[in-house]
Structure 1
Amino acid sequence: MTLLLVAGGFWQDEIDAESFWGRTGVLDGLRAHGEVLAPERPRRARSWAAEGDFLANLVTEPVTVVAGSNGCSAAARFAVARPQLVERLVLAWPATAHDPEVDGFTRDALRELGADDDTVEALLGGGTLRGVGDDELRGLGMPVAVVPSEPENRMHQRYTVDAIKELTGATELPGCPEPPMPAFQPDGFVHSVVQFGLSRA
């Protein structure tokens, strides 16, 4: 089974696949167990649908998708649109949506980076995950796992994990700090992903 990694970040030039998965040791750890794709997400995409389409165009056979932080929205959008290409879905440290304070400074940051009002509202919209309705999450048919951020923080709050579990029946994997936080250690995360993502059960 091939793993497709979707990095976090939200229009931030300083966060990419290398900083999120490469330098943190996740990529090397997972490559010891099989084929791993870790593409760069489109820079400053104006919709989550565009990000989902980008991911769908990378593969022709079903993959296990492992997404982090805001990358969870891109991955979920992919899984909703092309469920036949997503065998399993891991939503790690899912970014919290609809927190007024978080949305406020995110809205300001997007505007400073050149997003117009329609783009900002489209990117911030959705349900539990930005860009995806809760009914769409509830309709996912593949096995889903979720990794909480521990300790939780304002960008990655516990209630988001609980909502995803309720909507999808997701398996909760052991929590840890999200990369590229200095406290992140890859070994436990890699082990959990391998056990869930490569399992044939």
Structure 2
Amino acid sequence: MNNYRTVFSYGEAEFIINKSRFIGYANHIKTEEEALDFIEEISTKHRDATHNVYAYVVGENSNIQRFSDDGEPSGTAGIPALEVIKKEDLRNVVVVVTRYFGGIHLGAGGLIRAYTKGAKIGLDAAKIVDMVVHQELGIKVDYNLYGKIENFLLANEYIVDEVTFDTSVNISIFVDREELDRFIKTITDLSRGNIEIKKLDLVHLPILDGKRLK
């Protein structure tokens, strides 16, 4: 289980060049089937468009990479869209760039630039994020130590998922896997060992500018 980059959600943006309208779409997907479903959805929405070009990368190791020029000259549409995904080092992403022809031919170079831009603005609209591996921890601490622990967690902006109050205070928290050992040592020292820490699941969390997105 490794960190990787992807998009957070659905994104859409458009521009016009030489009277041709280009609409860039992007979305987060987990399987090739989800990618194909999204492509079909956009192609159906724009069935009257001149072209619906697509590209996608599936798998944390980029195992599956596909593209289509959808009738544009070979190498001028699908590959440029795929190259944007690869340049951004993204995984589990699908891009569709829709074109409504405006009557003016753009030439091979113009098409490459247009489809590159269409893919890029779609991805930007979908918010590029880092999917960072976090360890979920269950922490149990006495009430008299909770204030100190809470201040530490807030000051260091750890991701606290839930706090419940029973005979003890139970804290569900996510910690970046790379910081885990340091976190456990620090919080154990802070509580002088009077704390219970249980490792739960490893999960990917979307992180943008150091903050978790929900």
Given the two structures, how large is their TM-score scaled by the length of structure 2?
A: 0.27
Q: Larger C-alpha radius of gyration, 1 or 2?
A: 2
Given the two structures, how large is their TM-score scaled by the length of structure 1?
A: 0.28
| Between structures 1 and 2, the one with greater strand share | 2
| Between structures 1 and 2, the one with greater helix share | 1
